[in-house]
């Protein structure tokens, strides 16, 4: 009989398919296993796959759950009876199942694969999208709607803003005045996120009541009762008295009085009076009148008491008026925000509707509206109820209230009492309020308990019950780590957002009690008050060597270097520490993130790189984009230089300097073409330039495949470059779906906004992983390092652009100094919620560790906390130190350490000695002969270099700008044939000066044969004795039995006969002719010079070409 431990029995109770269950699961307690076990047991009880709906938080979680489920079902399909009985008993299905049930279990894998639509394991957004596609008319959406991605959403917002500067100029202008010219994108995103509140009519009455304002109070009235007609006269009269004082402060006050008295705008005047006459925000009594403090005491005592009494009364009026003024200013700014937002959101919705797109918020909101619409809700729920019998919700603590509304609408229909008897329905929810860290996406930890209470009541009314199960055992972390976690959470109940009256027992139990563990806290690195200034030759923004971030990055990398190869005791035995065992978690990808990566790479440690890539910041992408820019604009010397130095071409810094420095006013491309030693680079660049009018994807494919760019970039930059390269190609495809596929347009589109790429950091790659705590949700590692646990003055800061007062009144977030008391109270409450979420984030970070948790911190110096409220505001470093001391940690080598008694006693097993004795091998005679020397590489030469000393023009040919002119005309003749809008193409290339001459050539009837199908800018290598001729043919027309070479010449003096053509031009053409004969030996070959100046052509006879080769000693 299978013996089950307490942890497994608890998991089996949670996975009981017959009961509705609410599971509170500590970190590492096996919730994913419980979910998959429950689905498997539902299938085992005869529930059809399509009747199960499993909602997860991310696509990755859905994929992981589906993989685990199919792996389990697939294993059942292949098991013998005894093994299958044991596996099912482990699930809680009984130990003596009949053969029929075993056979049914084996068939589940095929049944799940063949289920119509597959198993419904999906995100809430994917589920809502499926509902809207099923009921588009009822929901009022386009039947074929597309989901709007973030990039397109940003483009739409900015396009609408530009449009509103014309269509709603006054409203937009008022908004611009309030924003002060800052980037509007964050505000537009905030408006979109508050669409429900901002789409409703502006309720000024409620806002005024919340701010303590009467319905008739106005700013004009406040100004009239505060600044009286004789006040400015009084201030002006004080100016001579102040100027006669011996105190500098009185002199400054006199200047300010004069300035205020001269102001015409009374709003500006009262703001200036507040600044002068009231104390500041940090004073013992903030924003109170400076009675007898301004002017100086001597003037208060010596001057006319009536005047000073007048000044005192003005101060008191300004003090009393300030709250009213701030409240009225808040109302006015809220009105401006609402006027703009209501128009913007209406236009945004109209644009999305016209394009047939919905964003992620739309998916939830429109589904929620559909479920609540009395006209259709019952019909929709009836149809869904016919298919969905069991709902499972994963990561419930991260489910936002609008998403809960959708789930609740479906589940409440389950429990209305009409279906519970004939066809059982169940709800399964698993989550952990301690891991609620996505408030910026609308999640709230209190919603987890609120929804549990709701369903508890609903089931009770339906004659059933909600099973409550707590998973306390951690299958992940060692006992010392869990002791510190418990002490940290227990230091102040409710501080991390836990409600002690409603939360399940959150304390942790280690399943692997004997697993050695260690928590190690390094000394705090304090930021120096005056950091050392950088040397004069260093960048002005260079980090100081005393910067705590640099010190922590260096310490962390050095410690990891020492750890690699040391013994590590795991549940599977003792083995050496490998790079893949180490996970470094930071709070944000800011000052510490990149120094960590640099220091790890400097010590040659394998590191996976950033977990999120900013696409256009990646070196591989920058190199490809530089090459693409050059392809469409050959005058772009900088882009060409960047491409040449990149792994794509591999020129050294010295190569580039020798190439670029002596070029003078010449283009770098022209200079490069004269350096035959770079013939392979030149040939590759010609291929790229020839693709300048291809689609973006085609050019990227040419660079990555045709030029082996992918291979070269990954070889230089490492495997992490592959993710960025793949995303660049995906972006090119996405661009071509929605825009005219031009390379210039793609370059502008790509660089117009930020594109982030989430990289899957696979532990199997055996690399050190560095990522944010949010990105590490669901991951684990034997060794976790938290290097960013220091104090930051911005911790808990409220960064919202828009506040919701009284739950649903939107206002523009004012600065703290401009905030009325009601707003300050809301901000204070939000700051407390941010601190609580920070503690939950710390919990998530600590519970990623299996064996060893290493904590570091640095930054602003911390003062010892004086109260429980102060403790809540301390850094992670301080919180962990307090918890470790409470758990019994001791000092060890300057660090605070808590560890298992047997930590550090393990040794690595002796490696097995391999018998390396090899049998004698008799080598053949040739193996003893030395290899012949490699043939020397042939020298390269261009046709231009071979024809040096020969004439290239007839007498009278002007040589001014000849090279630039010839280059430009060649470029136009390369790209213009076949294009409908030559002028636009010439403008894009910056070559309109030569368009008229080229157009005459393209339109000349006698030259029509030239512009048929042909190879253009064809590179070739012609091997001769001891050297290779490397060149480029302008145009090659290929027929089944002949080849015709056309070489463009921009000479202004045109020969009339073939015999008059300068010898240098003949020799160049002869070399092209010889190369073509070698390439196509079975076809007749002709050669023609096309003169662009007069749009004529001269075919050169074979005899003249042969004679030129003979004179040059070429046979």
Cβ-contact 954, 1053 below 8 angstroms: yes
- What's the CA gap between 141 and 152, in Å, rounded? 19
Residue 365 three-state SS? helix
pLDDT at position 540, please? 67
Q: Which two tokens stand for residue 351?
A: 């644009």
Residue 202 three-state SS? coil
Tell me the pTM: 0.76
pLDDT at position 502, please? 46
Please choose, from the candidates 517, 1091, 492, 1084, the residue with its C-alpha nearest in 3D space to the C-alpha of residue 854. Answer: 517
pLDDT at position 497, please? 56
* Paired strand residues for 525: 858
- What's the CA gap between 944 and 1029, in Å, rounded? 10
Q: Is pLDDT at 934 greater than 60 in this prediction?
A: yes
Question: Stretch 716-729: mean pLDDT, rounded?
Answer: 86
- Range in 478-487, 898-907, 927-936 the model is least confident about: 927-936
- What's the CA gap between 689 and 685, in Å, rounded? 6
**What ranges in 909-1026 are assigned the alpha helix state H?**
943-946, 962-975, 982-989, 995-1003
Q: Which two tokens stand for residue 998?
A: 């080229």
DSSP class of residue 473?
Answer: E
pLDDT > 90: what percent of the chain?
40
Q: Is pLDDT at 1056 greater than 50 in this prediction?
A: yes
- What's the CA gap between 642 and 628, in Å, rounded? 11
pLDDT at position 870, please? 64
- Range in 44-48, 220-224, 798-802 the model is least confident about: 798-802
Helix (H) or strand (E) holding 353: helix 305-355
Residue 565: pLDDT band (50, 70, 90) is: very high
Residue 940: pLDDT band (50, 70, 90) is: confident
Residue-wise pLDDT for 1011-1048, tens only, equals 988 898 899 999 987 788 999 999 999 998 999 999 99
Is the domain spanning 614-758 CATH 1.20.1560.10? The answer is no
Q: Is pLDDT at 386 greater than 80 in this prediction?
A: no
| Exposed/middle/buried for residue 706 (C-beta within 10 Å: 0-12, 13-18, 19+) | middle
Q: Is pLDDT at 649 greater than 90 in this prediction?
A: yes
Is position 571 annotated in a ligand binding site? no
3-state secondary structure 25-70: ECCCCCHHHHHHHHHHHHHHCCCCHHHEEEEECCHHHHHHHHHHHH
Residue-wise pLDDT for 793-823, tens only, equals 556 566 778 888 887 888 888 888 888 888 8
Q: Mean pLDDT across the chain, nearest whole number?
A: 87
Residue 1: pLDDT band (50, 70, 90) is: very low
Question: Stretch 730-734: mean pLDDT, rounded?
Answer: 90
pLDDT at position 177, please? 81
- From the centroid of its chain, how far is CA 919? 57
Q: Could you write out the DSSP letters of every residue in 842-876?
A: HHHHHTTEEEEEEE--EESPPPPP-SHHHHHTS-H
Is position 32 annotated in a ligand binding site? yes
Helix (H) or strand (E) holding 347: helix 305-355
Cβ-contact 518, 884 below 8 angstroms: no
Is position 683 annotated in a ligand binding site? no
Q: Which two tokens stand for residue 543?
A: 């980090």
Question: Stretch 1-21: mean pLDDT, rounded?
Answer: 85
Q: 916-926 burial string, b = 16+ CB within 10 Å, else e?
A: eeeeeeeeeee
CATH architecture of 518-529+540-611+765-801+820-899: 3-Layer(aba) Sandwich (3.40)
Q: Is pLDDT at 1076 greater than 90 in this prediction?
A: yes
Report how far apart the first and last C-alpha atoms of the chain are (Å, whole number).
93
Residue-wise pLDDT for 676-690, tens only, equals 788 889 989 999 988
- Same CATH fold, 939-1111 and 518-529+540-611+765-801+820-899? no
Question: Stretch 1075-1100: mean pLDDT, rounded?
Answer: 95
Residue-wise pLDDT for 702-719, tens only, equals 999 989 999 999 998 887
Residue-wise pLDDT for 479-494, tens only, equals 999 999 999 888 755 5
Please choose, from the candidates 342, 336, 333, 345, the residue with its C-alpha nearest in 3D space to the C-alpha of residue 192. Answer: 345
Between 155 and 623, where is the model more confident?
623
pLDDT at position 467, please? 92
pLDDT at position 29, please? 92
Domain 939-1111, CATH:
3.90.320.10
Residue 62: pLDDT band (50, 70, 90) is: confident
- What's the CA gap between 868 and 866, in Å, rounded? 7
User: What's the CATH number of domain 6-140+361-470, 3.40.50.300, 1.20.140.10, 2.40.10.120, 3.30.1110.20?
Assistant: 3.40.50.300
Domain boundary assignment for the chain:
6-140+361-470, 159-355, 518-529+540-611+765-801+820-899, 614-758, 939-1111
Q: Is pLDDT at 419 greater than 60 in this prediction?
A: no
Residue 866: pLDDT band (50, 70, 90) is: low
pLDDT at position 283, please? 85
Is position 28 annotated in a ligand binding site? yes
Question: Stretch 303-322: mean pLDDT, rounded?
Answer: 90
Question: Stretch 946-966: mean pLDDT, rounded?
Answer: 84
Is position 26 annotated in a ligand binding site? yes
The helices-and-strands tally (H runs, E runs) of the chain is: 43, 32
CA-based radius of gyration for the chain: 38
Q: Is pLDDT at 693 greater than 90 in this prediction?
A: no
Is position 1051 annotated in a ligand binding site? no
**Which of 167-171, 850-854, 868-872 reaches the highest mean pLDDT?**
850-854
Question: Stretch 112-135: mean pLDDT, rounded?
Answer: 87
């Amino acid at each position: 009989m299978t013996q089950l431990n307490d942890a497994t029995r608890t998991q089996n109770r949670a996975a009981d398919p017959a009961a509705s269950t609410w599971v509170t699961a500590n970190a590492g307690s096996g919730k994913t296993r419980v979910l998959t076990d429950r689905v498997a047991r539902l299938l085992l009880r005869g529930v059809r796959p399509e009747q199960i709906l499993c909602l997860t938080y991310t696509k990755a979680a859905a994929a992981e759950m589906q993989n685990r489920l199919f792996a389990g079902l697939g294993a059942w399909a292949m098991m013998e009876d005894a093994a299958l009985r044991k596996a099912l008993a482990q699930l809680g299905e009984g130990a003596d199942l009949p053969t029929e049930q075993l056979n049914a279990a084996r068939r589940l894998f095929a049944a799940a694969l063949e289920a119509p639509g597959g198993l419904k394991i999906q995100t809430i957004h994917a589920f809502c999208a499926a509902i809207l596609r099923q009921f588009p008319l009822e929901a009022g959406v386009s039947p074929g709607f597309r989901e709007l991605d973030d990039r397109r959403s940003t483009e739409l917002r900015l396009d609408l803003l530009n449009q509103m500067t014309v269509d709603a100029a006054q409203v937009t202008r008022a908004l611009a005045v309030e924003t002060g010219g800052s980037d509007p994108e964050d505000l537009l995103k905030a408006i979109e996120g508050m669409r429900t509140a901002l789409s409703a009519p502006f309720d000024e009455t409620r806002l005024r009541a919340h701010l303590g304002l009467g319905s008739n109070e106005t700013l004009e009235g406040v100004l009239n009762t505060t600044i009286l007609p004789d006040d400015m006269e009084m201030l002006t009269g004080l100016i001579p008295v102040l100027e006669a004082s011996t105190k500098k402060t009185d002199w400054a006050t006199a200047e300010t009085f004069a300035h205020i008295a001269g102001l015409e705008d009374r709003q500006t005047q009262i703001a200036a009076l507040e600044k002068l006459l009231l104390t500041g925000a940090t004073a013992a009594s903030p924003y109170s009148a400076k009675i007898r403090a301004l002017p100086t005491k001597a003037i208060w005592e010596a001057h006319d008491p009536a005047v000073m009494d007048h000044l005192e009364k003005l101060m008191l009026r300004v003090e009393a008026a300030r709250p009213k003024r701030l409240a009225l200013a808040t109302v006015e700014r809220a009105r401006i925000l609402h006027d703009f937002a209501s128009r913007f959101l209406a236009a945004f919705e109209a644009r999305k509707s016209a394009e047939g797109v919905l964003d992620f918020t739309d998916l939830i909101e429109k589904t929620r509206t559909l479920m609540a619409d009395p006209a259709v809700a019952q019909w929709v729920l009836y149809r869904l109820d016919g298919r969905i019998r069991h709902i499972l919700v994963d990561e419930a603590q991260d489910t936002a209230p609008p998403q809960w509304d959708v789930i609740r609408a479906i589940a409440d229909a389950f429990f209305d009492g009409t279906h519970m008897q004939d066809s059982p329905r169940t709800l399964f929810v698993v989550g952990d309020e301690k891991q609620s860290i996505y408030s910026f996406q609308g999640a709230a930890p209190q919603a987890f308990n609120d929804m549990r209470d709701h369903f508890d009541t609903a089931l009770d009314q339906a004659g059933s019950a909600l099973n409550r199960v707590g998973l306390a055992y951690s299958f992940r972390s060692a006992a010392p780590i869990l002791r510190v976690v418990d002490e940290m959470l227990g230091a102040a109940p409710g501080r991390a957002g836990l409600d002690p009256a409603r939360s399940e027992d959150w304390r942790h139990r280690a399943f692997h009690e004997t697993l050695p563990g260690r928590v190690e806290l390094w000394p705090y690195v304090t930021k120096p008050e005056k950091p050392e200034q950088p040397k004069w030759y260093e960048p002005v923004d260079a980090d100081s060597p005393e910067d705590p971030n640099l010190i922590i990055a260096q310490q962390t990398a050095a410690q990891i270097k020492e750890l690699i190869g040391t013994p590590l005791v795991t549940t599977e035995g003792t083995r050496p520490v490998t790079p893949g065992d180490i996970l470094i978690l930071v709070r944000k990808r800011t000052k510490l993130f990149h120094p960590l990566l640099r220091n790890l790479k400097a010590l040659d440690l394998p590191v996976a790189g950033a977990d999120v890539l900013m696409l256009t910041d990646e070196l591989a992408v920058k190199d490809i984009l530089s090459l693409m820019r050059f392809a469409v604009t050959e005058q772009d010397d900088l882009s060409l230089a960047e491409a040449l130095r990149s792994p794509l071409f591999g020129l050294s810094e010295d190569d580039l300097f020798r190439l670029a420095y002596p070029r003078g006013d010449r283009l770098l491309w022209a200079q490069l073409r004269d350096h035959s030693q770079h013939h392979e680079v030149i040939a590759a660049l010609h291929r790229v330039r020839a693709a300048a009018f291809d689609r973006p994807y085609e050019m990227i494919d040419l660079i990555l495949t045709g030029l082996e760019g992918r291979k070269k970039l990954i070889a230089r930059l490492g495997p992490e470059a592959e993710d960025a390269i793949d995303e660049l190609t995906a972006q090119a495809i996405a661009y071509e779906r929605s825009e005219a596929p031009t390379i210039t347009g793609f370059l502008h589109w790509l660089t117009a906004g930020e594109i982030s790429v989430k990289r899957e950091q696979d532990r199997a790659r055996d690399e050190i992983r560095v990522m944010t705590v949010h990105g590490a949700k669901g991951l684990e590692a034997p060794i976790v390092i938290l290097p960013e646990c220091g104090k930051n003055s911005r911790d808990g800061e409220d960064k919202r652009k828009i506040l919701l007062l009284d739950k649903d009144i939107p206002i523009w977030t004012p600065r703290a100094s401009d905030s009325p008391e009601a707003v300050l109270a809301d901000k204070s409450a939000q700051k407390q919620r941010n601190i609580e979420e920070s503690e939950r984030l710390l919990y998530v970070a600590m519970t990623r560790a299996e064996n060893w948790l290493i904590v570091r911190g640095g930054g602003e110096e911390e003062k010892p906390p004086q109260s429980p409220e102060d403790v809540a505001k301390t850094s992670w470093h301080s919180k962990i130190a307090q918890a470790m001391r409470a758990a019994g940690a001791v000092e060890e080598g300057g660090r605070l350490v808590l560890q298992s008694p047997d930590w550090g006693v393990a040794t690595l097993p002796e490696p097995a000695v391999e018998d390396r004795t090899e049998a004698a091998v008799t080598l053949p005679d040739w193996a003893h002969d030395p290899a012949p020397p490699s043939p020397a590489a042939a020298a390269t030469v261009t046709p231009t270099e071979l024809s040096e000393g020969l004439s290239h023009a007839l007498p009278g040919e002007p040589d001014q700008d000849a090279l630039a002119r010839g280059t430009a005309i060649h470029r136009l003749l390369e790209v213009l044939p076949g294009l409908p809008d030559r002028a636009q193409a010439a403008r894009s290339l910056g070559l309109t000066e030569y368009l008229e001459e080229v157009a005459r050539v393209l339109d000349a009837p006698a030259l029509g044969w030239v512009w048929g199908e042909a190879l253009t800018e064809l590179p070739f290598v012609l091997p001769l004795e001891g050297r290779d001729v490397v060149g480029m043919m302008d145009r090659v027309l290929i027929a089944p039995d002949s080849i015709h070479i056309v070489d463009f010449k921009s000479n202004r003096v045109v020969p009339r006969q073939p015999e008059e053509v300068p010898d240098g031009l003949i020799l160049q053409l002869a070399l092209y002719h010889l190369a073509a004969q070698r390439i196509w030996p079975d076809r007749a070959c002709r050669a023609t010079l096309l003169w662009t100046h007069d749009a004529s052509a001269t075919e050169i006879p074979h005899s003249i070409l042969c004679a030129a080769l003979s004179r040059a000693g070429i046979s």
